[in-house]
Amino acid sequence: MIRIRLIAILAVFISPFIMSGHTVKKETHVFAVKDGQELNMDIYQSDSATILPQPCLVFVFGGGFKGGTRDFQDYSEYFNYFANRGYTVVSIDYRLGMKDQEAPGLLNYKPLQNSIELAVSDLYSATNYLLENAEEFYIDPSLIIISGSSAGAVTVLQADYEERDNHPAADVLPENFRYAGVISFAGGVFSTEGLPSYTQKPAPTLFFHGSADRLVPYDKLRLFHIGMFGSNSLVKRFKQERYPYQFYSIEDIGHEVSEYPMSEFLPEIEKFITDFVLDRKQLMIDIRYKDIMRESEQSDTPGSYYN
């Protein structure tokens, strides 16, 4: 296992040189059929990917669990950047449980809770598919990193939390499997037990969140023990328990942080993966980031977004 990991790390560092003149290719595979719906994944790799096993970066799209697509054009820069840097990038479908649903709230949380459960289940199925076909896809099964935007960010944070917390939904994954890292663009964890408390140490996590986000709460939205706990709230738990993390708190910006870091923060994301996942550095980093030239867009609320 150590030898495989060293090869994967070597692949990331030498790929920018050996891939000169290569292009990114895309293949689509069906990874599951659920509720009569075919779920697909797009796999992006350099055409030189067969040289060495690669770390795998999985992406879950945003859209409030009611819309969105795995191949939305605004994600292409993110996919191509990492495919060209020696990663296998995988963008997945998942079932959209909030279609035709009213805006969620603390007194109407069941549809959102169900939607998150569907998306997490589908992410686990996609993960199993990648593990079962790791040799064919030339990926290192010990280096699967999950990332997501908005609803997708909720999904990846929730998936790692439930896997570490021995949630029954995670029983479909191999017993010894752990995600190697989590990257969240404006996400949170839904909990009926208050601020999430991890039974096992979570994966190293990179958080991006705008402090003016009104769609996915920057801090938390709760009633008694039930609520959505956003990045700022989760980081408090990470600090308390000394879990490795990096948090970009984007000051005075709204929900657009769910997308633009995937084009404007690519080197920073790559450095997080190198430091926290590949080199396993045990760091806790808080960055309060303020761009005085950027004007915030008017952030949606659940009421305006779903109605």
The predicted-structure confidence for 125-183, as pLDDT tens digits, reads as follows: 999 999 999 999 999 999 999 999 999 999 999 999 999 988 899 999 999 999 999 99
Q: Considering the domain boundaries, does residue 305 fall inside one?
A: no
Contact in structure between 49 and 139 (CB atoms under 8 Å):
no
Q: Considering the domain boundaries, does residue 306 fall inside one?
A: no
Burial 70-80 (b: 16+ CB within 10 A, else e): beeeebbebbb
- Residue 216 CA to residue 154 CA, distance in Å, equals 9
17: CATH:
3.40.50.1820
Candidates 158, 185, 151; CA nearest to 254 is: 185
243-270: per-residue pLDDT in tens? 999 999 999 999 999 999 999 999 999 9
Beta strands 245-250; 226-230: pairing state: unpaired
Q: Considering the domain boundaries, does residue 234 fall inside one?
A: yes
What ranges in 133-195 are assigned the alpha helix state H? Answer: 134-137, 151-164
- Domain interval for residue 53: 2-300
Lowest mean pLDDT among 11-15, 20-24, 192-196, 271-275: 11-15
Q: Considering the domain boundaries, does residue 159 fall inside one?
A: yes
Task: Report the domain count for the chain.
Answer: 1
34-68: per-residue pLDDT in tens? 999 999 999 999 876 666 789 999 999 999 999 99
pTM of the model: 0.92
Mean pLDDT of the chain: 92
Mean pLDDT of 273-302: 93
